[in-house]
Amino acid sequence: MSARCKPQDPAEAPDPLSHGPIRASRVSRWRAAVLIAIHVAIALHVAHWAWKGSTLTPLEPSESIELTAKGVLNAGAIFFGLAILSTALFGRFFCGWACHLVAIQDACRWLLEKVGLRPRAVNLGILGLVPLVVFVYMFLAPLLPRLEQGLGLGVAHTEFTTEGFWETFPGLEMALLTFVVGGFWMVWFLGAKGFCTYACPYGAVFGIADQVAPLRIRVTDACEGCGHCTAVCTSNVRVHQEVRDWKAVVDPGCMKCLDCVSVCPKDALYVGWGAPALATARVRPAKAVLDGVAKRLPRVLLTAAFLLASFLVLLSRQGTLELRWAAELAGLSLVLALIFPGKAERRGGPSAGEELVLAGAFLGALYALRGYQLLPWEEERVPLLLALGLAVLFALSVHLCGRILRRSEVALQAWDLVRGGKTTGAGRAVVALALGFLALVATAGRSQWSEGREQRDARAARAQQASEEQAAAQAAAQVASQARERARAEYDRGVRAAQSGALEEASKAFEAALALDPSFDAARDNLAGMYCAMGRFQQGIFHYRASLQRHPEDADLHALLGQACAQAGDLGGAETAWLTAIRLAPNHRGARLGLAILCEDRGDSVGAAAHRAAAGR
């Protein structure tokens, strides 16, 4: 590759110094001040939480996952929504003026330029889809289980304050390593906005929203095509080419840093309203005729395959592999990629074969490194964003090794890796780095596969146990159903025997029914009645009391219990049962008449009359 990104057509990339020295940007310091102020505000937010123990939920886009996964609306979700809406109106200012990772990348680029190294963008082809994949996975995939469970997509509740401010963030070691990888290594090897281009999930949605924004960087007829704008752009945008061909910057990667506007020697660039990028017409015909559908189809198929494989890897690593979900997410991502492809021209990209190698290396490393215990002294596992950065760098190293083996000229940034068919010291260093990286990925992959197999075995064992328990429950239910059917037959036999006066036969039938189904209340009540009718009052009382344990509010059962107690000579028990029946049903006739008889036996004619009067109501 020439990873130095030397233009193929010198006429399209003029030497900016041929039009005089590039003047200093008047906005770079303002942007730096804004980024510093935002980080001071973040520090104050953390300090408020440390002081009070509770504070506003983090103003971080990743907090929006709580909304899509659980329906919890927090400050982060509102902040992310407002950022997207502002981008759809004003363009991608949020990234350039407010993002902490952009600030770190800019700081790294500034340090590199101080030592004479200017990082240039590297085109990794298919890996440019990674931010879109991760955005869909993080923020849209959680909607699928909610839809399947019929939970709806509305807000379940709000949560604007928190005591666990750091619960959703990685620990110190992983956070610092993420900043080093995304903010420094990816800048050194992939250009000033390497992380934004190949890993940032938020950048994906901001890039889509930017394409419908009517406020854009535009150009007047005073432009002479000097190239100063492109020379100072830190968003990897070919500004001079875009304003020449489109009369506006249409690249969704433009982060509106405004350095290009500030340094234009003719003040030809300005920020103005007009047609959004999607509706902007090309004013200069493209050199190449657009490929037909037949030639574009392989590219679409490659894109679809990469999207599907990416979601399979991401879902499998969280233990919820669903081929149908992966296909649905891949289809959604493909539709978004086709509708919002961006109009910027990318040059010097890999071949189709190289893209397959890049995709395979990236997916393998992502599977291996995400969730891997990278630091032996730290139990925390590699978070998603760090795994993405490492996987992209691993794919780059494999890609470079392939070119070192096959090409006579290979360069990366300011270093020649192969010159005149001979591998240089820098090339050997890259190969050594790639081999070390490969050893790490292989070790991590073996560990992850082993852990995954244990988890799969455990899930299979749980599924087998659940299946066996379900089968046992079904068998028990079938046995219980058959027992209930036989109990019903015995009960019906008992009813017929009782109606014919065969009390002994009836009691045996009710006993059999109750033995088959201990919860058969009607059988128990009738059995108690049969025992009492045969003078076996204690057995009748036993079964009445057993029924009352299940139905303590049944006034009729209390009345029957009172009658059985009276017949057995237990007048105190009879009175208690009848009083309970009256408490539950004040005008219960049987209970009132029983109490009236008790009152008469005691010589209480007034009480007896009262109970008889109540019984007659």
DSSP string across 96-116:
HHH-HHHHHHHHHHHHHHHTT
In-domain check, residue 514: no
- Could you tell me the residue range of the domain that residue 128 belongs to? 10-153+170-285+293-423
In-domain check, residue 446: no
CA 137 and chain centroid, separation: 7
In-domain check, residue 451: no
In-domain check, residue 405: yes
For residue 575, the domain's CATH number is 1.25.40.10
pTM, two decimals, is: 0.76
Q: Cβ neighbours of residue 572 under 8 Å, at least 6 residues apart?
A: none
In-domain check, residue 513: no
pLDDT of residue 286: 62
pLDDT tens readout for residues 589-617: 888 888 888 898 888 888 888 888 888 76
pLDDT tens readout for residues 507-548: 999 899 889 888 888 988 898 889 999 999 999 899 989 999
Q: Bridge partners of 56?
A: 161
Pairing of strands 157-158, 72-73: parallel
Q: Is 509 helix (H, G, I), strand (E, B) or coil?
A: helix
In-domain check, residue 466: no
Pairing of strands 72-73, 55-56: unpaired
What share of the chain has pLDDT > 70, as a percent? 94
Q: Do 419 and 548 belong together in one domain?
A: no
Q: Which of 423, 448, 474 is the last residue of a domain?
A: 423
pLDDT of residue 289: 45
Average pLDDT over residues 245-251: 94
Q: Which of 363, 391, 423 is the last residue of a domain?
A: 423
Q: Do 418 and 545 belong together in one domain?
A: no
In-domain check, residue 73: yes
Q: Which is nearest to 392 in space by CA: 177, 193, 192, 182?
A: 182
pLDDT tens readout for residues 8-29: 343 445 655 556 788 888 898 9
Q: Which of 393, 423, 453 is the last residue of a domain?
A: 423
pLDDT tens readout for residues 96-117: 999 988 999 999 988 888 888 8
pLDDT of residue 19: 64
User: What is the count of structural domains for the chain?
Assistant: 2
pLDDT of residue 260: 94
In-domain check, residue 433: no
